[in-house]
Structure 1
Amino acid sequence: MISRVLVVCAGNVCRSPMVAALLTRSLRSVAVESAGITALVGHAADPIAVDLMRERGLDIQSHRARQLLSWMPATSDLVFVMDGLQRRHLEQRFATLHGRIYRLGDLPTTSHSGTGFDIPDPYLKDRESFKESLRLIEASVEGWSKRITDICGTAAEPNLTVGTSSS
């Protein structure tokens, strides 16, 4: 059973807050949190990310970046990272988590059949860069939500408890 998911990126102000918000909406009975390897601790989510999420009916305005601490992945059933370098970093730092850390783009999707991909960091880039990252994030979240639902045997219905500290 997957009951707790951690989403990790670099600064915890762009990609991981968007992923966490989308996963939280997609999965019922799964606690979703996010953190950054080199977090901009206390910073709000990037305004472009906030705007793009608002367009999708999600509010990440109150999100504040958090540093990845050792207890976070240790207490998670599944950890998503945005790229291969982050995955290798976490696998080396948390050897006991081997098999629970996945690159978000590793799940085959219709548009990226079996190839896997990194989610590029849009930090300090233009809106188009954010939109491209979000396009990949949404495809990945859709695939992972289905996979998690299939594994857990629970409905992937909207989770209406999008927490401010975890998204």
Structure 2
Amino acid sequence: MAKGVLSDNLSNISVISAGCGALAGKGADPVAIELMAERGIDISLHIAADLNIEHAMRSQLILAMTLEQKKEIERRYPFSKGRVFLYSAQDGNDVIDPYRKGRDVFETSLAQIDRGAGYWVSAINRLRK
């Protein structure tokens, strides 16, 4: 969902989605697809991928959904330090993982994603000027 929200708000910037221990090869959850479709954002073709060294090397910015993920990325790829930030940097909270939970948890997670996207879209757009 975060990739969909960020991509929708950042023109001319490549946004990829990769996780730490992601269910690589799996599609987006039907609830996530439905919530995003309600916003006019299609994530139905999303396939989960695990963050790899190529992603870490090529990315100018890596946003981790949890503090634990941030630490794991920096442990795996020490050269990425200084480019890895918490998605919810504005409040320092982890984004709830809604996987295998109800629609209400997906909605809560999406609200957190929206807040984080607002922060990052503003920050990125300031840097682009």
Aligned to 1:19: 2
Say which structure, 1 or 2, has more relative contact order (CA 8 Å, 6+ apart).
Answer: 1
Aligned to 2:64: 81
Q: Give the 3-state SS of the residue equivalent to 1:102 in structure 2.
A: strand
Q: Give the 3-state SS of the residue equivalent to 1:34 in structure 2.
A: coil
CA offset digits 1:17-60 (Å, max 9, x no partner): x1111111111111000112112121110001000100111000
Aligned to 1:139: 115
Instruction: Give the counterpart of 2:24 among 18, 41, 49.
Output: 41
Question: Number of aligned pairs?
Answer: 129
Structure 1 stretches of 5 or more lacking a match? Answer: 1-17, 109-114, 154-167
* Structure 1: 4+ residue segments shifted above 4 A: none
* Structure 2 Cα separation of the partners of residues 36 and 147 of structure 1: 23
* Structure 1 Cα separation of the partners of residues 71 and 47 of structure 2: 25
1:94 aligns with 2:70: no
Q: Give the 3-state SS of the residue equivalent to 1:80 in structure 2.
A: strand
In proportion to residue count, which structure has more strand?
1
TM-score in terms of structure 1 length: 0.75
Aligned to 1:12: none
* Structure 2 Cα separation of the partners of residues 33 and 50 of structure 1: 17
Aligned to 1:10: none
1:121 aligns with 2:121: no
TM-score in terms of structure 2 length: 0.96
Q: Give the 3-state SS of the residue equivalent to 2:16 in structure 1.
A: strand
Q: Percent identity?
A: 35
1:66 aligns with 2:42: no
CA RMSD of superposed structures (Å): 0.9
1:148 aligns with 2:121: no
In proportion to residue count, which structure has more helix?
2
